[in-house]
A and B are shown apart, each in its own frame.
Chain A
């Protein structure tokens, strides 16, 4: 039936919004404790920026900052950083990934062997500095939090986003719909209704877990007088995030599985490679 002034799709989307509010899984989201931070320096031109960012964070959180410096071309740098972080029981590692270096010889996704290893092995979240010219403490004013479907680290990433954001700053939750994936899924499912799904549904924002997560972040942002917006974008995930972050200053807080076999691991690698802004890997 044609309602002329209100379509069936609009009705269904509105209902799904209320159903999401009803089914949202309640999550108590608080920023995690950040009392020990390990700053790993490698003598590169990114050291000063890394220090600046680490100091800004520790001053705000009251965390203790320990600096570790790599000795020349230390091939065991990743292991040494990890050993130090474990010994310190660090809540966060701040380190840099070579910026404007050519990683192509290391494969299509690599961000340098040390960081590749740390991404796969480190139980500690990592704040990865990229372009030193852009890594200023102002980055903490705008935190970008991508929603990754079926990620077991999503809630932790959201909690760290709350920790990362500076007072008075804002958190931008972003859900990216990969059109190609949606088309393939629609074809595989043979489901004609895919076309009528709203952006929010396609992006998974109506799923109880994500709806609850959004509610928790919004509630926290409201309480702490932070800005918070939820945006849905269509396109390939990494270029879309880079485009959004392009207007910076930003920090991108992203959940990442520790298993290199997972697609999401490679996506985070691609994000770090493509990003000029610091990336907080949880």
Chain B
């Protein structure tokens, strides 16, 4: 495994003794089985990742995959990705406190009221709000607020909730592209590739807005008829005006503090590299400030961290690290590299659709975790880094769009619609929108990357 040292990933923590074909095959099968369990929800995804990691570690120890490092290699895998876990925990606390003030619910109602209930404005407003909330809250809390708003507002206006729920489900994945910390795959790739925060504002934010505009046009086109139906303009205006956003306010002072602390944290993210600190440190500083000045009991705020997600990441990092130590991911990387003949353009033409499809089937987080070491190997073999990393950022996030199980945003939004309104969006109906959006977004991503590369717009890493 000559490229391992250059790759510099956690697998370097292992001192590989050279895994045999049997060990590589068995551990590779564990990875596939874990991804299948996650994709088909046969097991809770945290349990699947932890079981997969456990099995992989046992096999690696039995076959001596970790070489001289032995079990210490496992700690190395987690240690390398602690910054990702740190950002998740820190931002979770910060977001929980900000949400507790009622700020985001207040803003959501304000945005809806500003549309006067007009469908021509309501749909783009839902897209824009979803983008905004996901940018600052990450996908799950952002989608939760927007889905619940959509369900309440469409019921009040007697509207078909489907186009609006799809706007949330699909728009959220564009929102995850906006900044370094907006989406977990973005965070993982950004951390591993060492992409500064400000580069996201220059490269992926415009792409996020363009991809959301495509999704908006597709939803508007497919649901043109139901978007035109519903209550009359007068009734809609009265209903929307009836919303009293002040009923949602818990603490206006906390509002202001939350906005300030969120702002300071975002500035901290942007300056982290200059200051010589990690994003996890900035996230924890933001969380500490929020805990200090929110008045919320620390236990309550800390309990809102999704510890199952943290454990999911621990399992995933160990599993991927172990698979990488077998050299299997290098085989995949070399396969793509050979297929492209060393051409960055062809490599991207292969990687983007591949990641779009796999992320749509499995879950974009495991796909991102798998593709990071693959990309590092490809870069070490001569593929240009910047277009490859940005392609991965775009494809892992937008790749969740084609199917109703491809992203956590779609899962939450469709589940909410089914549970609260008893309305299902089947695979066929979802694919009609998500599939079309995905095809157009693949074209957009490829064209965007090509344009940036041709014009030399990518900031150097």
Give chain A interface residues in 108-167, CB to chain B under 8 Å. none
CA distance A231 to B156 in the complex (A): 29
User: Which chain A positions have C-beta within 8 A of B415?
Assistant: 1, 3
Are B412 and A227 closer than 8 Å at their CB atoms? no
CA distance A24 to B419 in the complex (A): 24
- Distance between A215 CB and nearest chain B CB, rounded to angstroms: 4
Are A18 and B144 closer than 8 Å at their CB atoms? no
- Distance between B84 CB and nearest chain A CB, rounded to angstroms: 15
Tell me, yes or no, whether A14 is within 8 Å of chain B by CB.
yes
Are A18 and B109 closer than 8 Å at their CB atoms? yes
**Given that A18-B152, A227-B253, A229-B253 are contacting pairs, would A5 and B412 also be in contact in the complex, using a CB cutoff of 8 Å?**
yes
Are A212 and B244 closer than 8 Å at their CB atoms? yes
The one of A14, A215, A219 that contacts B105, using a Cβ cutoff of 8 Å: A14
Are A4 and B252 closer than 8 Å at their CB atoms? no
Number of interface residues of B (CB under 8 A): 45
CA distance A244 to B215 in the complex (A): 50
**Given that A4-B309, A10-B144, A14-B145 are contacting pairs, would A229 and B295 also be in contact in the complex, using a CB cutoff of 8 Å?**
yes
A20 closest partner in B (C-beta) = B247
Tell me, yes or no, whether A77 is within 8 Å of chain B by CB.
no
CA distance A214 to B108 in the complex (A): 18
Tell me, yes or no, whether B36 is within 8 Å of chain A by CB.
no
- Distance between B218 CB and nearest chain A CB, rounded to angstroms: 25
Are A5 and B156 closer than 8 Å at their CB atoms? no
Q: What are the interface flags for A3-24 relative to B under an 8 Å C-beta threshold, 1 for contact and 0 otherwise?
A: 1111010111011011111101
Tell me, yes or no, whether A222 is within 8 Å of chain B by CB.
yes
- Distance between B330 CB and nearest chain A CB, rounded to angstroms: 31
Tell me, yes or no, whether A218 is within 8 Å of chain B by CB.
yes
**Given that A5-B306, A229-B295 are contacting pairs, would A17 and B248 also be in contact in the complex, using a CB cutoff of 8 Å?**
yes
**Given that A2-B44, A4-B408 are contacting pairs, would A15 and B148 also be in contact in the complex, using a CB cutoff of 8 Å?**
yes
Are B141 and A6 closer than 8 Å at their CB atoms? yes
**Given that A5-B412, A22-B242, A215-B246 are contacting pairs, would A228 and B145 also be in contact in the complex, using a CB cutoff of 8 Å?**
no
Most buried by A among B44, B108, B141, B244: B244
Are A21 and B408 closer than 8 Å at their CB atoms? no
Are B419 and A11 closer than 8 Å at their CB atoms? yes
CA distance A216 to B254 in the complex (A): 18
Are B252 and A21 closer than 8 Å at their CB atoms? no
**Given that A14-B145, A22-B152 are contacting pairs, would A4 and B46 also be in contact in the complex, using a CB cutoff of 8 Å?**
yes
Give chain B interface residues in 219-247, CB to chain A under 8 Å. 242-247
Q: What are the interface flags for B250-269 relative to A under an 8 Å C-beta threshold, 1 for contact and 0 otherwise?
A: 11111000000000000000
User: Which chain A positions have C-beta within 8 A of B139?
Assistant: 5
Are B243 and A3 closer than 8 Å at their CB atoms? no
User: Which chain A positions have C-beta within 8 A of B246?
Assistant: 214-216, 218-219, 222
Tell me, yes or no, whether A211 is within 8 Å of chain B by CB.
yes
Are B251 and A228 closer than 8 Å at their CB atoms? yes
Are A4 and B152 closer than 8 Å at their CB atoms? no
User: Which chain B positions have C-beta within 8 A of A215?
Assistant: 244-247, 249
Are A4 and B44 closer than 8 Å at their CB atoms? yes
The one of A4, A22, A219 that contacts B156, using a Cβ cutoff of 8 Å: A22
Are A22 and B243 closer than 8 Å at their CB atoms? yes
The one of B46, B102, B147, B244 that contacts A24, using a Cβ cutoff of 8 Å: B244
CA distance A6 to B109 in the complex (A): 21
**Given that A18-B152, A230-B251 are contacting pairs, would A5 and B244 also be in contact in the complex, using a CB cutoff of 8 Å?**
no
User: Which chain A positions have C-beta within 8 A of B245?
Assistant: 21, 215
User: What interface size band does chain A fall in?
Assistant: 20 to 34
User: Which chain A positions have C-beta within 8 A of B248?
Assistant: 17-18, 20-21
A220 closest partner in B (C-beta) = B246
Tell me, yes or no, whether B45 is within 8 Å of chain A by CB.
yes
B418 closest partner in A (C-beta) = A1
CA distance A13 to B247 in the complex (A): 14
User: Which chain B positions have C-beta within 8 A of A2?
Assistant: 44
Tell me, yes or no, whether B207 is within 8 Å of chain A by CB.
no
Are A229 and B254 closer than 8 Å at their CB atoms? yes
Are A229 and B250 closer than 8 Å at their CB atoms? yes
Tell me, yes or no, whether B431 is within 8 Å of chain A by CB.
no
User: Which chain B positions have C-beta within 8 A of A8?
Assistant: 419
CA distance A17 to B147 in the complex (A): 13
Tell me, yes or no, whether B308 is within 8 Å of chain A by CB.
yes
The one of B145, B243, B250, B306 that contacts A4, using a Cβ cutoff of 8 Å: B306
- Distance between A174 CB and nearest chain B CB, rounded to angstroms: 12
CA distance A221 to B242 in the complex (A): 20
Give chain B interface residues in 286-310, CB to chain A under 8 Å. 295, 306, 308-309
A18 closest partner in B (C-beta) = B152
Give chain B interface residues in 418-453, CB to chain A under 8 Å. 419-420
Tell me, yes or no, whether A69 is within 8 Å of chain B by CB.
no
- Distance between A223 CB and nearest chain B CB, rounded to angstroms: 11
User: Which chain B positions have C-beta within 8 A of A15?
Assistant: 148, 151-152, 420
Tell me, yes or no, whether A26 is within 8 Å of chain B by CB.
yes
User: Which chain B positions have C-beta within 8 A of A228?
Assistant: 249, 251-252
CA distance A230 to B251 in the complex (A): 6
CA distance A18 to B420 in the complex (A): 14
B415 closest partner in A (C-beta) = A1
CA distance A14 to B108 in the complex (A): 11
Give chain B interface residues in 131-168, CB to chain A under 8 Å. 139-141, 143-145, 147-149, 151-153, 156
**Given that A229-B253, A229-B254 are contacting pairs, would A212 and B247 also be in contact in the complex, using a CB cutoff of 8 Å?**
yes
Are A5 and B247 closer than 8 Å at their CB atoms? no
Are B144 and A14 closer than 8 Å at their CB atoms? yes
CA distance A1 to B404 in the complex (A): 15
Are A24 and B140 closer than 8 Å at their CB atoms? no
Residues on B lying within 8 angstroms of A by beta carbon are: 44-46, 102, 105, 108-109, 139-141, 143-145, 147-149, 151-153, 156, 242-254, 295, 306, 308-309, 312, 408, 411-412, 415-416, 419-420
What 17 additional pairs, Cβ within 8 angstroms, besides A12-B420, A17-B102, A17-B105? A3-B408, A4-B306, A5-B309, A6-B412, A14-B149, A17-B148, A18-B153, A20-B247, A214-B246, A214-B247, A215-B247, A218-B247, A218-B252, A228-B251, A229-B253, A230-B249, A230-B251
